Amino acid sequence: MSSGVRRAPRRSARTRVTLSEEDGVRYLHFGTEWIQGGMRIARPWQLELEYQKQMMTLALLLPEPRQILQLGLGAAALTKFCYRNLPSAQLKVVELSAEVIDVARRHFFLPADDDRLQVIEQEARTYLREQMATRCDWLQVDLYDAAARGPVHDDVDFYRLCRHVLRRPGVACFNLFGAGFEASFQAISIAFDGRVLASPSIDEGNRIAFAVVGPRLDASALALSSRAAQLEKAWRLPLRRWLGALLEANALTGRLRL
């Protein structure tokens, strides 16, 4: 994960994972100044970083998921948020690093595995290839290395694997960052037959891409705004504002057809 924000890290006693704290927020680093996740210590179940909050906009495209798959754990912010706020969903998280999983549990309040949550220590592309029969309603992808140079997997073949794992209907979101956004978005668009949307860029440089599969999505802006208003109260996220920005960024007015 990467927020595009730099902070001075405090090294932990472990190997490459480092932690820092500032103004009541604990940050995760992979041995560099780049932030890979964050948590407000007083509100460990809430989302702190803006791009992670925007990734929850996919609830407007497909509400009430039964199965959620997340690629990349980081500080477990999305995992905890979905676990707390979507109690009817089964949640699987794929994370390459055993140390990241351990740190998320010791320092970021990640719950232990249970009948709803399973954290899998495996490389993301390998997992998708080996789980071809797996299906999910939501896919959230946030895969970055220590230097935050770009998504760890960023090619059409990988994004086709992502498409394959989705049910019909299904929706995916991808955290993209930096100057390589256009190339990444184009690869996603190819893999998903052009059924993609891009959020506006936020201050840190992150930009979220959304992709859908299955029956055509055709919803009025009014209906989507009503859904966003309901979720705003429950989740304390400005979903109506993000919906408006998403529609404007993709030159959509009145209806969302995808």
Q: Would you say the C-alpha torsion 4, 74, 97, 66 has a positive or negative sign?
A: negative
**Chain segment 164-215, per-residue pLDDT in tens:** 999 999 999 999 987 789 999 999 999 999 999 999 887 678 899 999 999 9
Q: Cα angle vertex 148, ends 132, 23, to 5°? A: 115
**Chain segment 207-227, per-residue pLDDT in tens:** 999 999 999 999 999 999 999
pLDDT of residue 5: 41
DSSP count for the chain of H helices, then E strands = 9, 13
